[in-house]
Chains A and B, each alone.
Chain A
Amino acid sequence: MSFKPKKIWTIAWKDFRTYFTSPIAYIIIAGFLIIMGWMFFFNLSHFNMQALQYKQMGMGKSMSITEGIIRPLYGNMNVIFLFLVPFITMRLFAEERKQQTIQLLMTSPISIAEMVVGKFFSAFFLVFTMLMLTVVYPIILWIFGNPDYGPILTSYMGTLMLSSCYVAAGVFFSSMTENQIVAGALTFAAGLFFWLINWASQSAGPVFSDILDYMSLIQHYNNFSQGIIDTTDIVFYLSFVFVSLFLSHRVLDSYRWR
C-alpha cells in the first residue's frame, strides 16, 4: 500500500482550495469570527468590571486572566467547532460519491489511505486557519495586560486536537453516504455523543464511570485548558482520529466491492 506525502498534499490542497470557491466557507469563517469576537469582548468587559469592583471593595485580587478570559473563551470555541465542523466535513466524500468524481480518485494510482488522509487534512487546514485568525485575541490581551502564555498555548493545542477528532469523525460519516446533510447531521450527533458521554459517569459504577470519562472528548480537554499537557490526552485524541480514519478506509474500500 502506498502512502506518499505528495499525493496526500495534492488532494488536501485541492480540497482546501475548493472551500474557497463557494460562499459557504466564507460564511462559516465570518460567523465563527463574529461569534468569537463577541464572546471575547463580552468576557473582557465582564472581567474588567469584576476586577474594578474587587478593587473598589478592597477585596484583594480578582480572578486571573487565565481563569476569567482564556478558559471560557477557548471552552466556548470548542463548542462552536462542534457545530461548525460538520458543515466543513460533510461534503468531503459525500459530494464525490454523488457526482461520481470519486471514480477519478479510485482509478488514479493513489491508495485509499492517501485519499482519506488527504481529505482529513483539507478540512484540518481550514480549521487551523480559523484558529489562527483568533490569535488576535491573545495579542490584544498581551498588549493591555499580562496573561500567562502556557494556558493560551495549550488551549490552542487542545482545541486543535479536539477539532481534529470532529474532523476525522466528519470524514468517516461523509464516506458513508452520498447525502451531505445526512453526513453532517451524523457528524454532529457523534460529536455531541462523545462530548456528553461522561454525564452518565456520576451514576455509573466505578470502573464503568472511568471508562466513560476516558471516552469523553471534553474530559481530555480540561488539562489543556489549565496549561497542562498530559500524554494520555494526546494519545486519546490521536487514537480517536486514527480509528475514525481507519473506519472511513474500510467503508471506501467496501464501496468498490458492491
Chain B
Amino acid sequence: MIEVSDLTKAYGPRAAIQNLNFTIGKGEIVGFLGPNGAGKSTTMKILTGFMPATSGTAKVAGFDVFSQAIDVKRNVGYLPENPPVYMEMIVEDYLEYAAKLHDVERGKLRSSISSAIERTGLTGVRKRIIGNLSKGYRQRVGLAQALVHNPQVLILDEPTVGLDPVQIIEIRELIKGLAGHHTVILSSHILPEVTATCQRIIVINKGHIVAQDTIEKLTTRMRQGLLFNLQVKNASAGGINAIKSISGVKSVGNEGSKLVIEIEPNQSELRDRIIEIAVSEKMGVLEFAPEKLSLEEVFLQLTTNEGAHS
C-alpha cells in the first residue's frame, strides 16, 4: 500500500531525511517513531503529496506521489501536526467542506459526515464553532476530517498530542479499530504511544531509518544486550576464550576474522576490557564498533522522554 524507496528530502543544503526505504502492506498499522527533528513530519508530507521529495520515489495506494498526486490525495486522509481547521466554521460544515474537497459523492455526504463524527466522538459538539472547542476536540475534528472520505490510507502526524488521558485511550482504540480496513501510518516520539496501537514500528533518527520490525522483536533485541563487532587480524582461540571469560560478556560469536561480542546492557565500560584483552592476546585489532548503537540511542531517548510528553 505504501512503497518508499531511496526517499530523500533536503531543505536547502540540509537533508531532513536520507534514503529511506520501507514498505507498508494493506491494513497494517505502522508507527513512525523518532525523536524531535528526526524527519517524521517531512516523510509524511511527502507521502501525502503535499511536498515533493528531492530524490527517490514513493507510491501510495499504487500511485506515485509526485506524478499522480491527485490520485494519491483522493486515497489518503491526512492529519498534520496542527489540525488544519477553520476556527470560524461549524464542525459539521467543516467536515462537509473536507468531504467535498475529497470527492465524496453528494448522496453519501450526510452519512460520511455522521460516521466521521460518531467515530471521533464529536456528536455532542457537531453544531459548535471550532474556534470555541478545546484543543483536544480540535484534534478530534482534525482526525474526523482525515476519516471523512473513508480513505484507504491514513497518515496521522502525532494524532494524540494535546489530548487528555481518557481521550488518548479513546483515540488509540479508534485507530486500532481501523486496522484491516485502512492502512495507517502514525508518528510519535514516545514509545508507549506506538506500542499501544501499532503492529510494527519504523524507528527513524536524524533522517535515517535505524530499525523496522515488530515491537516484540525490537524489544527483545534491546533486552538481549548490546552487540559489538570486533574485527581482528588473528582470531586465535585463546584470545576468544579470554574475551569470553570477562564477566559481563554474554557471548562471543566467531565469523572468520570478525568477532560478534554481546555484552549485558549498561556495561559500556566493558569495552575497555575487551580491547585490553584483544591487545594483550596480540590479536591485531582492526576495528571495534558497536552494532545498532543508533537504535539503542534512539530507544533511550524515546523511553526517557516518555514522562515529559504524556
Contact = CB atoms under 8 A, between A and B. Distances in A.
Interface in A6-55: 7, 10-11, 14, 18, 21-22
A202 interface: no
A109 interface: yes
Interface stretch (B43-51, B188-196, B260-268, B271-279): B43-51
A109 B71 contact: yes
A224 B108 CA distance: 47
A256 B88 contact: no
B100 A10 contact: yes
A129 interface: no
A100 B82 contact: yes
Contacts of A18: 86, 88-89
B113 interface: no
A107 B70 contact: no
A258 B101 contact: no
A11 B102 CA distance: 12
Contacts of A109: 70-71, 73-74, 101-103
A111 B85 contact: no
A110 interface: yes
Contact of B101 (A7, A99, A100, A257): A7
Interface in B64-87: 70-71, 73-74, 76, 78, 80, 82, 84-87
Given A2-B70, A107-B76, A108-B73, A256 B145 contact: no
B26 to A, nearest CB: 21
B6 to A, nearest CB: 19
B228 interface: no
A247 to B, nearest CB: 21
B41 to A, nearest CB: 11
Contact of A107 (B78, B86, B87, B100): B78
B253 to A, nearest CB: 48
Contact of B50 (A99, A101, A107): A107
A101 B103 contact: no
B35 interface: no
Contact of B80 (A14, A103, A258): A103
A257 B12 CA distance: 10
A113 to B, nearest CB: 12
B50 A104 contact: no
A189 interface: no
Given A108-B98, A109-B70, A110-B101, 17 more contacts: A2-B70, A7-B101, A10-B101, A18-B86, A21-B88, A21-B89, A99-B87, A100-B82, A101-B85, A103-B78, A104-B98, A107-B80, A109-B102, A110-B70, A256-B50, A257-B51, A257-B52
17 contacts: A10-B97, A100-B82, A100-B84, A103-B80, A104-B98, A104-B145, A106-B50, A107-B48, A107-B76, A107-B80, A108-B101, A109-B101, A109-B102, A110-B70, A256-B50, A256-B52, A258-B11
List 6 tightest A-B contacts by C-beta distance, closest first: A108-B101, A104-B84, A109-B74, A109-B73, A21-B88, A101-B84
